[in-house]
């Protein structure tokens, strides 16, 4: 079924089916709230544990982190964000939820202090925004108290969101087969060029400058870490093209998720999940 009003459907996270698919990969539960799978997984892997003090970098308005508090998984959060408007909105939301004394928004150089003081370091789609992912993870380990944990739920695909040629070819084949052959209008995914890379860097210098280095940084800084490849290659590339065009009851969504799972089985993943505990 085609969408009449696509204003609220902008990408894969706007789709309940896509969110359920992603959360199943993280937690085994088809939850339909953003990052709910992370909360479910944290509770499963640390039954009965309440993390006393946690930190999140690049938290925006802190909605994901406040959900961890309301779920009873974290007592208090230090939330670091560079955008003042996001901080102001986050503080307003915290006050509305009665969490003002449990969240502290901060602005500045989080990496300057490397003393062990946290029980949980939470990276939820923010690690790929760091200009030095290796140092960010080294800092994460340094600030952990014994028994503390690092949670990573993040993008590890091509730097600057510059899709590989084989990914674009397969994505456009899907558009022609699953959408245009059904009479659903859609433009094709453009190939990456030097110009598109420079344009992306100009538009958002923090967007995935070192995303391809995250796996290596995990292996280096988190001894014995088990990195789980979630898939997401197709939903990430095709989300802006497919989700605004159809509703969740369309067979196009089912085919999109089936193709994404096939790519994951072939070894292609744009997203990973890791949960590492310090001895």
The pLDDT of residue 220 is: 98
pLDDT above 70 covers a percentage of the chain that reads: 97
User: Quick one: average pLDDT of 202-206?
Assistant: 93
Given a contact cutoff of 8 angstroms between Cβ atoms, the answer to whether 88 and 79 are in contact is no
Angle 251-265/16-27 helices, nearest 10 degrees? 30
- Model confidence over 120-156: pLDDT tens digits? 999 999 999 999 999 999 999 999 999 999 999 999 9
The pLDDT of residue 273 is: 98
DSSP string, the chain: -B-S--TT--SGGG-HHHHHHHHHHHHSS---STTHHHHHHHHHHSTT--EEEEEEES-TT-HHHHHHHHTTSEEEEEEE-S-HHHHHHHHHHHHHTT-TTTEEEE-S-GGG---S-EEEEEEES-GGG-S-HHHHHHHHHHTEEEEEEEEEEEE-SSGGG---HHHHHHHHHHIIIIIGGGT---PPPPPP-HHHHHHHHHH-TTSSSSGGGHHHHHHHHSTT--PEEEE-HHHHHHHHHHTTTB-TTSHHHHHHHHHHHHHHHTT--SEEEEEEE--
The pLDDT of residue 200 is: 93
Tell me how far apart the alpha carbons of residues 45 and 49 are, in angstroms, rounded to a whole number: 9
Position 2 pLDDT exceeds 80: no
Residues β-bridged to residue 118:
144
The pLDDT of residue 8 is: 87
What are the distances in angstroms from CA 135 to CA 143, 214, 221? 12, 11, 9
Tell me how far apart the alpha carbons of residues 41 and 10 are, in angstroms, rounded to a whole number: 27
User: Quick one: average pLDDT of 56-85?
Assistant: 98
Position 6 pLDDT exceeds 80: no
- The rounded mean pLDDT for the chain is 96
- Model confidence over 13-48: pLDDT tens digits? 999 999 999 999 999 999 999 999 999 999 999 999
Domain regions of the chain by residue span:
12-277
Best CATH choice for the domain 12-277 from the list 3.40.50.150, 1.10.510.10, 1.10.10.10, 1.10.390.10: 3.40.50.150
User: Quick one: average pLDDT of 240-259?
Assistant: 97
């Amino acid at each position: 079924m085609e969408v009449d009003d696509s204003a609220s459907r902008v990408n894969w996270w706007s789709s309940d089916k896509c969110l359920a698919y992603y959360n199943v990969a993280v937690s085994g539960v088809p939850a339909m709230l953003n990052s709910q799978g992370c909360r479910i997984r944290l509770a499963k892997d640390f039954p009965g544990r309440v993390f006393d003090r946690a930190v999140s970098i690049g938290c925006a308005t802190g909605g994901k982190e406040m959900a961890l508090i309301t779920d009873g998984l974290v007592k208090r959060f230090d939330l670091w964000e560079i955008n003042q408007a996001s901080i102001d909105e986050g503080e307003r939301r915290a006050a509305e939820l009665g969490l003002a004394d449990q969240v502290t928004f901060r602005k500045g150089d989080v990496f300057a202090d490397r003393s062990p003081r946290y029980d949980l370091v939470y990276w939820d789609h923010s690690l790929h925004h760091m200009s030095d992912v290796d140092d960010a993870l080294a800092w994460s380990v340094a600030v952990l108290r014994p028994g503390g944990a690092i949670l990573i739920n993040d993008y590890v695909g091509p730097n600057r969101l510059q899709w590989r040629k084989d990914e674009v070819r397969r994505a456009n084949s899907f558009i022609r087969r699953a959408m245009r052959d059904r009479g659903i209008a859609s433009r094709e995914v453009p190939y990456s060029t030097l110009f598109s890379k420079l344009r992306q860097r100009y538009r958002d210098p923090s967007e995935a400058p070192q995303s391809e280095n995250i796996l290596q940084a995990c292996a280096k800084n988190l001894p014995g870490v088990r990195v789980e490849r979630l898939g997401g290659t197709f939903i990430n590339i095709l989300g802006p093209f497919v989700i605004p065009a159809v509703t969740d009851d369309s067979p196009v969504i089912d085919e999109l998720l089936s193709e994404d799972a096939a790519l994951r089985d072939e070894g292609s993943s744009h997203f990973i999940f890791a949960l590492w505990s310090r001895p």
